[in-house]
Structures are given as structure tokens and as C-alpha cells.
Structure 1
């Protein structure tokens, strides 16, 4: 953490993770790893950042085959 701050904004953390602030904000909301100070204000603690990184890595490991999920790849006459 830079400057000794306990909580940091997604805009401060995003460049360190090579993400846009919008991506980081979306990931933190989807994963639930954030501290909400007010309705539209999300802050991140060092633990939140580590948990978001782990969540993104776990999420990316899941194999996705959209053809199988949607049924497009199946031959209904086979």
C-alpha cells in the first residue's frame, strides 16, 4: 500500500493491477470483496485486493465452451 492509507479507491489500485478502474469496480462488486462507504463509494483494503486477484484467477480457470452451454454445438439429429 502506498502512502500508508488503510483504504484506497479503485482508481488508485487499478493501474497496479493493469486493469481499468471500471473493471476493478465491477470485479469487486461481483466478488463481494470491497468496503462500501456510501451508496456509490467503494473502497478497497489490501485484503480486498488480494481476494479480488484470487477471485479473478479462479474465475478465469473455469473452462467455458459457449457452444456446449447454449446447445449450438449439438446435432439434434445425431
Structure 2
């Protein structure tokens, strides 16, 4: 049947994707230097937290602001 033919391709595809993802992860991890704990905390508090808060506020405020704008015809 068709399911028996597609099953090995699905398994091979899944294994290939997992292997590629693992290789990309290891490559990126080996390419960049390790951060000290204080550098990591500085990065999180000074860069990632404001960006995350800004994007969260944007995703909350943008749909609300679209409901109050008149349609353009």
C-alpha cells in the first residue's frame, strides 16, 4: 500500500532533519565564544528584556489600534 511506501521516506526525512538541526546547533555553539555569567546577565537585562517587553506591548497594542482605525476605501 501507499502508506508502507511513504513510511521509510518519512523516517529518513525525520532522521535527516534531526541530524541537520544537530549539526547546525553544534556549529553555532562552537563558533561563538562562551559568555561569563555577568556578561550573560547584562545581555539579558539590557538587551533582551527591553526587546521582549517592546514586542509584547506591540503585539497587544497593534490589534487593538487596528480596531479603532477606520477602513480605507
Q: TM-score, normalised by structure 1?
A: 0.28
Higher relative contact order (CA 8 A, sep 6+): 1
Greater Cα radius of gyration, structure 1 or 2: 2
User: Hey, which of these two has a bigger chunk of helix by percent?
Assistant: 2
The structure with the largest strand share of the pair is 1
